[in-house]
Each structure stands twice: as C-alpha cells, then as structure tokens.
Amino acid sequence: MKLWDKEISTEQRILAFTTGKDPVYDLELAPYDVAGSMAHTIMLAEAGLIGKEEAAKLVGDLQLLYQQAREGRLTLEPGVEDIHSQVEMMLTRELGDLGKKIHTGRSRNDQVMVDIKLFLRDEIKKVVGETRNLAKVLLRQAEVYSDVMMPGYTHMQVAMPSSFGLWLGGYAEALADDLTYLQGIHSVVNQNPLGSAAGFGSSFPVNRELTTRLLGFENMHISSVNAQMNRGKTEWYVGTGIAGVASTLARFAMDAVLFMGQNFGFISLPPELTTGSSIMPHKKNPDVLELLRAKCNRLTTVASEVSSVTGNLISGYHRDFQVLKEIIHPALDELYGCLEMMQYVVEQIQVNEKILEDDTYLYIYSVEEVNKKVKEGIPFRDAYQQVASDIDKGRYRPGRDHAYTHLGSIGNPGLKEIEAKLDKAYGSFRFINTEKVVDALNNYYEKS
C-alpha cells in the first residue's frame, strides 16, 4: 500500500531502491507518527472537517496503535511503503471509510516532519540527560582528586602546574557549555510544521495553533515554505549538537590515552577495563578509550554528512531527505553508547598522586618564581629575564609552593560554580513528556 497509489505499477526494483532502509527507521518514528495523527484528527473535528464522534473513534484506535508502536509490536506489513501508509491502512481496516479521512488537510511532507520533530525532541532530551550525567561523574572525580597536582601542557611541552580537580572540572564545564548550545537546537526542533502540507499550506481551514498546543510544541514554523525547508536544516542543527558533545568526549579520550602511557603515568584503569597484546605480555591497552576517541571523532562529521546530502537543494521537498535518517538515527545511538561508556570509564580512573616529584617537571613552577620577584617590586619583564637566565645557566632552584587563589585555578577550581552552571543549563530546557502528551490527546473527548 502507498498513500500516493494511483493504480500505477511501479517497477519492483525501483520500489526497493527508493524504499531503502526507511522501514527500519520508520519503526522508530512510529509512536510519533501516531501521536501526530491523534492531534491532527482532533484538529479536523474542531475545524468541522469530520464529526467529533468520528474523531473520538479515530483517536481511540490510534491510542491502541500508539501502544503497539511503543511496545515494538507495530510493524510494516509486506508491500506497505512506510509507517504513514501502515497506520492509515490499519485504521481503514478497522473503521472502514472513516480511516481514509485521516489524511485530510495534510501531506506526507508535513506528516513526516512532525514525526521527525517529535522524535528528535525526545532524542535531544536523552542526549542532554546522559551528557549531564557524565558531567556529574567528572565533577565527583574532580572533587575526590581536587588537590592532586599534575602538569599542564602547551605545545605538548610542560608548561605550568595544574591539578586533577582543574582538569576534570574543565571537561565538566565543557559539557555544560555543550548543553547551552543544545538549548538553541532544542528550541528550533520544538516547532510545529503540521498544517504546512506539501510546503504551501492547505485550502482546508486547518488550525495550526491547536495542533501546536496539543503536541506540546513551544512554537510553530509560521511559513509553510520554511516548515518544509526545515527538513534537512533540523537534522543539520542536531548534527552540530551531536558534534559538540562528541568533540568534548574525543578530546577527553585523547588526554586519557596519553596520560595512561608509561611516559606519562598520570592515570590508570583497572586491568579489567584494558585489553592485552597477542605478542607482548606486559601490555594493558586502553582500547576502550581509543574506540571512544574514534567513534566520537567520526560523530563530529555528522553535520557535514547532512550538508553533503542537502547542500545543493532548492526549497521544497526532495526524496534526498530520506537518506538523512540513515545518518542521524545511527549517530544518536552511537553517541548514547559513548556517553554511557565514558561515564563508566571515568568512574574507574585511578590517579597518580606523586606526579610532580619527577625531575621531568623541574621547571613547572618557573612562572611562580617570576611572580614572586614581581611581588618584590621587580618589573615583570625583568623578573622573567632573570628566571630565564637562571634556568639557562643551571642556577634555577625551583620551589614547590604555589599561590593560586582566583576562581578557576588550581587553588580554587570552582567545582561548585561549575555544577551550578551545569544545573542552570540543564534546567533551562523546556522538556516535554511525550507520554503525557499522548494521554492528554487520548482523553481529549472525555474532558469535552
């Protein structure tokens, strides 16, 4: 069955190619397709396009289909092109001609867009939750090792003293920034395209404000043209959000791999979190971190993949958009896996508490020596040259004391402030509970 069926037999090879992997991802969209149809049905009744008793019957059957979809029992039957066709076919099978009325005033274009918006709205909620969880784990570890010193690097050269509190807290704050970035993406996603039809509106008196409220959208795409142009743009926005979180994870994984090496020896993992070598019996390899690094580096290209599909398209719908599901859905799944695994790894990290006792870091307090001279009244540039000369001539005798007190330094890493920033970023999201939305739709006529 196809919603566009005009009794024309399209060649089977063409159908198979154009369908592609859509049936797989359509099942992930199925609950959202049904939810969108419930809101659309209520709107049709409120607009006088179908009777309220008819709408109540449709909504009741759609609720049953929603439960099937949530439980994974709603499948595409052989010969059915997509989830939209499957739902309409099942309604028609159960309710006769009434089931055929559900597509009044909409197109598959705005129907699939509403599915994608509702799906991505929930997916962003999951990404945000897992990102916050990882940041909390980093902050807990930062608190445990707040005063343990480690070297900081610039140009891959030993630079100045740092601490595990500062390092781990820095990544927690980076994730808080990633959440702030995701807020804008969530706001763009959380807009209603329903009623834009094929991208030019409908001659039926559809009430787009009503479906916006019913589905819990924060706003709507006002222009029908923009609603359709947002297909591809929505996925691109989400791709940039995925990339932001993934880039933070990839950089942390690179740090951790480096710091686990014998030449550094800053951190270690329990043996059961490492893997061995087929030839070298002493090896304990950080494969989990290397794979996290690789997967997350790949995820930073998601937005570029979306652009490669949509970059030269004019406004309006194109079948090219179908391919975007094959980019975004797997990327989201991979990001969840990486976030969960990184949480587990960070919880297991063990820290070397005597790093700076090694002579490799002999000069790490040289800036502190310059600052001491400045406090004695010597101009900074003269103090700098004196210490540099002492180092060059072998006269430098480093101390091990530091006087860092300002917020965001080794003496005051600001972990509580970072946690407050994280909580504020998380609390700024206007998350919607899809189950409550569907319950309200199902009970709409009971309240009336």
The mean pLDDT value for 119-138 works out to 98
> Which pLDDT score is estimated for 200?
94
pLDDT at 15 over 80: no
For helices 380-392 and 366-375, the axis angle rounded to 10 degrees is 140
Give 153's strand partners: 158
* pLDDT band per the 50, 70, 90 thresholds, residue 252: very high
* pLDDT band per the 50, 70, 90 thresholds, residue 281: low
Residue extents of the structural domains in the chain: 12-104, 123-196+232-358
Give 267's strand partners: 351
CA distance 33 to 31: 5
> Which pLDDT score is estimated for 209?
98
The mean pLDDT value for 261-268 works out to 92
* pLDDT band per the 50, 70, 90 thresholds, residue 148: very high
pLDDT at 4 over 50: no
What pTM does this model have?
0.91
Query: What are 195-219's pLDDT values in tens digits?
Result: 999 999 999 999 999 999 999 999 9
CA distance 98 to 88: 10
pLDDT at 23 over 80: no
Q: What CATH topology corresponds to 123-196+232-358?
A: Fumarase C; Chain A, domain 2 (1.20.200)
> Which pLDDT score is estimated for 6?
47
pLDDT at 124 over 60: yes
Contact 345, 267 (CB under 8 A): no
What does each C-alpha distance from 266 to 10, 140, 239, 272, 439 come to in angstroms? 64, 18, 34, 18, 52
- In this prediction, what percent of the chain has a pLDDT beyond 90? 75
Residue ranges in 349-395 assigned as alpha helix (H): 366-375, 380-392
Q: Which residues contact 153 (CB under 8 A, 6 or more apart)?
A: 159
Q: Which residues contact 350 (CB under 8 A, 6 or more apart)?
A: 267, 268, 269, 270
pLDDT at 396 over 90: no
CA distance 281 to 377: 58
> Which pLDDT score is estimated for 247?
98
The mean pLDDT value for 321-342 works out to 96
Cα–Cα–Cα angle for 333, 339, 341, rounded to 5 degrees: 100
Radius of gyration of the chain (CA): 29
Please state, as a whole number, how many other Cβ atoms lie within 10 Å of the Cβ of residue 323.
16
Residue type, 302: V
> Which pLDDT score is estimated for 164?
96
* pLDDT band per the 50, 70, 90 thresholds, residue 446: confident
The mean pLDDT value for 62-91 works out to 92
Query: What are 26-50's pLDDT values in tens digits?
Result: 899 999 999 999 999 999 999 999 9
* pLDDT band per the 50, 70, 90 thresholds, residue 25: confident
Query: What are 97-108's pLDDT values in tens digits?
Result: 999 999 999 999
pLDDT at 232 over 80: yes
Architecture of domain 12-104: Orthogonal Bundle (1.10)
262-266 — which CB contacts under 8 Å span 24+ positions?
A: 265/352, 265/355, 266/150, 266/351, 266/352, 266/355
